[in-house]
């Protein structure tokens, strides 16, 4: 065999564990048809963090408007985009360098499974003992008339100018986070939602608070609506710049495979608009239409049929060892249908577990509690047992910790920050829902508490840095401990 393990895909679901397998003496090949590092590194998480941060700062500064801060803070999207493109342009090169450092072989091209032990890349075939599929997810684009006018998250995270009036189809992570950016930028958006909930996996009272904030900033929500057609309508004129900017070319070296395949595709800022037709008969106009309807398994044309593997939109079914129905083929990360949240943190967990599994050192995979964050402004986070379960079950109690306003000290001048803390009958913390500007950090704190089974009494015996949102939130937990 040419290799012990071939990974199809180069994201965190692959290399995080692949490096340990190589260190253990196994020969590893990573196959990638696009940019090394996959979606999160090049077209998702990292880009979103860079583009979101200034708007988060603006929102925090607004809490002190006319009570310490005067004037308006404005974010220049064009300059911010240039920074993002410069930073992200080097990610693929950086990871390629790390793969070389870890002594991982790479092949650039589409990996196609020929049989249980063979993967073809371009015109070359490689043999291997085991195959790990790490191809992730791709955006769902509805098959409707005018679908060619739809943009996905990759597009809007690289757009030259923010649209003045976007139409967002869907209200999951992508839709709601984009809406928050547009709101803080002072632009408009219409969010079309197929059901009756936005961010359905999060605590709905907190989601409603975010919606109310967005509605005050010219973001409109249309529930129980379905898009049937998108029409380019030159009679709809949106006051939007016609700037045209190309990606910064990823000229990392002369190897063609290290260049961003999107580098020469211009982004468009439309001077004319689009009409989005709804099943109800209503129509909505805007200058940019985003399909934010979720993501589905990215497994087309990789040869699953050659080995008898099937899949659904949720991915390839695996057992507790991340093993598919073909014993020597595994799936890792978002493409694996495990029933667990599809997050980059879970993909890393998969990859590290799978390294131990492939070395014969692991039992079935176990998952700690997984914190999830919607990077809206403000943030919403959830970890462990959700609040709705706590309210519905006699096994739990739900306590509200209003730590944003505590002892007359309003943290960041925002009295609205709070957490719902779910405890069992022994007063052990088993879950939390957080609504705050820094909800992601508070969620990580609760993840540590829950996973390590730290008791309220133990928390009360510790000393924390003050003032901070975590210290005030932790101190307020003694109200549960002492039943004040």
Which among 371, 373, 40 has a CA at the least distance from the CA of 210?
373
Helix, strand, or coil (residue 379): strand
Predicted confidence (pLDDT) at residue 28 exceeds the cutoff of 80 = yes
pLDDT value for 147: 97
Same fold flag, 3-138+296-358 and 140-294: yes
What's the CATH class of domain 378-481?
Answer: alpha beta
C-alpha atoms less than 13 angstroms from C-alpha of 173 in its C-beta half-sphere? 16
| Residue of higher predicted confidence among 236 and 416 | 416
* In contact, 151 and 175? CB cutoff 8 Å: no
Query: Residue 391 contacts by C-beta under 8 Å, 6 or more apart in sequence?
Result: 398
pLDDT value for 98: 95
At 6, the pLDDT band (50, 70, 90 cuts) reads: very high
CATH 3.20.20.70 fits domain 140-294: no
Q: For residues 45 and 375, what is the distance between their CA atoms, to the nearest angstrom?
A: 10
* In contact, 312 and 337? CB cutoff 8 Å: yes
pLDDT value for 408: 52
Name beta bridge partners: 221: 191
Helix, strand, or coil (residue 289): strand
pLDDT value for 240: 43
Quote the percentage of the chain above a pLDDT of 70.
Answer: 91
Rounded to an integer, the average pLDDT of 36-64 is 94
Where along the chain do its domains lie? 3-138+296-358, 140-294, 378-481
Fold of 3-138+296-358: FAD/NAD(P)-binding domain (3.50.50)
Which among 185, 184, 176 has a CA at the least distance from the CA of 210?
176
Q: For residues 285 and 267, what is the distance between their CA atoms, to the nearest angstrom?
A: 20
Helix, strand, or coil (residue 43): helix
Q: What is the pLDDT of residues 244-278, one digit of tens each?
A: 333 333 333 434 444 443 433 334 444 569 999 99
C-alpha atoms less than 13 angstroms from C-alpha of 71 in its C-beta half-sphere? 2
At 291, the pLDDT band (50, 70, 90 cuts) reads: very high
Alpha carbon of residue 453 to chain centroid: 27
pLDDT value for 354: 98
Query: Residue 230 contacts by C-beta under 8 Å, 6 or more apart in sequence?
Result: 144, 145, 146, 147, 149, 150, 274, 275, 276, 277, 289
Rounded to an integer, the average pLDDT of 221-226 is 98
Q: What is the pLDDT of residues 171-216, one digit of tens each?
A: 999 999 999 999 999 999 999 999 999 999 999 999 999 999 999 9
Helix, strand, or coil (residue 165): strand
User: Quick one: which H or E segment has residue 291?
Assistant: strand 288-291
Predicted confidence (pLDDT) at residue 237 exceeds the cutoff of 60 = no
Pairing status of strand 329-331 against strand 316-317: unpaired
Write down how long the chain is. 484
């Amino acid at each position: 065999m040419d290799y012990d393990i071939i990974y199809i895909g180069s994201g965190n679901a692959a290399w995080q564990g692949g490096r340990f397998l190589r260190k253990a003496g196994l020969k590893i090949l990573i196959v990638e048809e696009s940019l090394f590092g996959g979606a999160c590194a090049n077209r998702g998480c990292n880009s979103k963090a860079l583009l979101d941060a200034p708007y988060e700062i603006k929102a925090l500064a607004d809490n002190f408007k006319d009570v310490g801060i005067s004037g308006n803070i404005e974010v220049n999207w064009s300059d911010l985009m240039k920074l993002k493109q410069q930073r992200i342009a080097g990610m693929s090169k950086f990871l390629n360098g790390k793969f070389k450092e870890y002594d991982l072989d790479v092949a650039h091209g589409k990996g196609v499974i020929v049989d249980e032990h063979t993967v073809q890349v371009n015109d070359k075939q490689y043999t291997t003992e085991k195959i790990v599929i790490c191809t992730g997810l791709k955006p769902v684009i509805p098959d409707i008339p005018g679908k060619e006018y739809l943009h996905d998250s990759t597009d809007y995270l690289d757009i030259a100018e923010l649209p003045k009036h976007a139409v967002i189809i869907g209200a999951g992570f992508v839709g709601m986070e984009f809406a928050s950016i547009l709101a803080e930028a002072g632009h408009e958006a219409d969010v079309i939602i197929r059901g009756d909930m936005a961010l359905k996996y999060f605590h709905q009272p907190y989601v409603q608070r975010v919606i109310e904030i967005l509605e005050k900033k010219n973001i409109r929500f249309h529930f129980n609506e379905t898009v049937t057609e998108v029409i380019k309508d030159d009679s709809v004129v949106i006051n939007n710049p016609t700037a045209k900017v190309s990606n910064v070319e990823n000229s990392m070296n002369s190897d063609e495979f290290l260049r961003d395949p999107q580098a020469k595709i211009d982004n468009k800022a439309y001077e004319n608009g689009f009409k989005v037709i709804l099943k109800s008969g209503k129509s909505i106009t805007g200058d940019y239409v985003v399909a934010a309807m979720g993501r589905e398994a990215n497994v087309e044309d990789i040869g699953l049929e050659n080995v008898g593997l099937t899949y659904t939109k949720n991915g390839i079914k695996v057992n507790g060892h991340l093993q598919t129905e073909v014993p020597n083929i595994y799936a890792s990360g978002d493409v694996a249908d495990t029933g667990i949240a599809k997050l980059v943190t879970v993909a890393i967990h998969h990859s590290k577990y799978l390294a131990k599994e492939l070395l014969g050192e692991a039992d079935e995979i176990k998952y700690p509690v997984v914190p999830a964050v919607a990077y809206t402004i403000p943030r919403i986070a959830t970890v462990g047992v959700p609040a709705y379960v706590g309210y519905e079950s006699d096994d739990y109690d739900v306590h509200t910790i209003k730590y944003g306003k505590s002892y007359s000290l309003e943290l960041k001048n925002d009295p609205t920050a709070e957490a719902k803390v779910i405890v069992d009958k022994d007063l052990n913390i088993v879950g939390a829902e957080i609504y705050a500007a820094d909800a992601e950090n508070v969620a990580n704190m609760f993840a540590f508490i829950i996973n390590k089974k730290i008791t309220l009494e133990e928390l009360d015996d510790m000393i924390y840095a003050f003032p901070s949102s975590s210290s005030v939130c932790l101190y307020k937990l003694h109200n549960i401990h002492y039943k004040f």
